Chains A and B, each alone.
Chain A
């Protein structure tokens, strides 16, 4: 069996499917635009009953994995592998959450692109026949990200106008060769792209070139154009980043129209004081595993191009004055056909 591959895109012929999904969010996201779609909202406690925010993030991943496995009507023994990642140093949230599951675990890191990275890798492993069912999950928490990357929570500072708000939430998907659900058709793996932005408060601008690069490669590899998709969804470019992406794509001869949306822009309401919009691994993970999956399952969306972007920086690299490299991975998911 030869796997069809074109440049950076891998095509799946054995139809890996997303047979279960789950999203869990904190109080602020629960008041946002998508409150009707999330699987679980913790309305009043962003500590999830834990002592620290780091522990709370682990609980979110555990619950997301649990929920997705239940949603797929499988037992723990049926899951062959857990693939997860997050933003914290040494991806502690994922690894510590995996500790409570008796399932082999692989940690992945792609900053905020982790959800798509995990989906794409899972689809490859499942399609290749190495595993029949894989659970992927990612999470982010506003308070843990602030502590690691920015300032203490109670510091009375003003946020720069280009900054984004890290989503408190986790999402999980079960990718399997068996069962039924939206199919993953192909995956495009992106290159690390750096256009020399060193403002850590302007992630949208740092990640937009990577998004453009992956998107253009994807359209070329698959011989498609933006209008072939019901929805082109980016992870967390935010308001500024999306506008830049639209400009950059236009430069390359592709026009992103009304079917282009950004998770960071739709998750919160305008009056929630989030500036450019949501960000973090949890942003794309929760948006995809709520409204998008519902619409893929109902057949409202037939073909969705889901691309998450990540900024591959650390606090050390940014304090040493390095620029912010970006990455973007994409998967194409086909909605369930209703006969």
Chain B
């Protein structure tokens, strides 16, 4: 009992001791880098539609996503993406670039544990929960549609 009291007091003391971070500067960086990525996406989309008029709008979106995923993986592979991510935080995580990075980075990291149980298995250690929750959410939405 006494120990719990002591630990509670210590935790409160540590909490107060930690220097408070300022949210606004990092939010600002997230905002403009994230915005830049979205603008880049829009640019790619518009260019596809401009250069290949036969492509439907729906397919152009898909191609845009593929290109963004490719770019993020490439930047991860050459060791640049982690630096951009450390600077921009959510700005690079929220767009599809973050998802691409979260798959590519463990794949690189665990490559030396073998192709199957290293790279292929551990590729999803970070993105796995996202995929699971995405799938579960779409199942729930599907059920709702079924009964509506």
Contact = CB atoms under 8 A, between A and B. Distances in A.
Given A154-B82, A156-B85, A244-B17, A52 B10 contact: no
Contacts of A154: 76-77, 79, 81-82, 101, 104-105, 108-109
Interface range for B: 35 or more
Nearest to B102: A155
Contacts of B106: 152, 155
Contacts of B104: 154
A52 B112 contact: yes
B126 A155 contact: yes
Contacts of B26: 158
B67 interface: no
B103 to A, nearest CB: 10
Interface stretch (A22-30, A180-188, A194-202, A292-300): A194-202
B106 to A, nearest CB: 5
Interface in B52-100: 76-77, 79, 81-86, 88-89, 92-93, 98
A159 B82 CA distance: 11
A52 B21 CA distance: 35
Contacts of B18: 161-162, 202, 240
Contact of B19 (A151, A153, A161): A161
B39 interface: no
Q: Majority SS of interface residues in chain A?
A: loop
A250 interface: no
A161 B21 contact: yes
A155 B7 contact: no
Contacts of B21: 161
Contacts of B112: 51-52
B101 A197 contact: no
Residue of A156, A159, A247 with highest tally of chain B CB at under 10 A: A156
Contacts of A195: 6-7, 10-11
Given A51-B112, A161-B21, A156 B81 contact: yes
A74 B88 CA distance: 53
A147 B89 contact: no
B105 to A, nearest CB: 4
Contacts of A153: 82, 105, 108-109
Interface string A121-136: 0000000000000000
20 contacts: A151-B126, A153-B82, A154-B79, A154-B101, A154-B105, A155-B102, A155-B106, A156-B93, A157-B82, A157-B93, A158-B86, A159-B86, A195-B7, A196-B4, A197-B10, A205-B14, A240-B17, A243-B17, A244-B13, A244-B14
Interface of A: 51-52, 147, 151-159, 161-162, 194-197, 202, 205, 209, 240, 243-244, 247
Given A154-B77, A156-B83, A157-B93, 8 more contacts: A51-B112, A152-B106, A153-B105, A153-B109, A155-B82, A156-B88, A156-B93, A156-B101
Interface of B: 4, 6-8, 10-11, 13-14, 17-19, 21, 26, 76-77, 79, 81-86, 88-89, 92-93, 98, 101-102, 104-106, 108-110, 112, 126
| Minimum-distance CB pairs A-B, first 8 | A156-B85, A196-B7, A152-B109, A154-B105, A152-B105, A155-B105, A195-B10, A205-B14
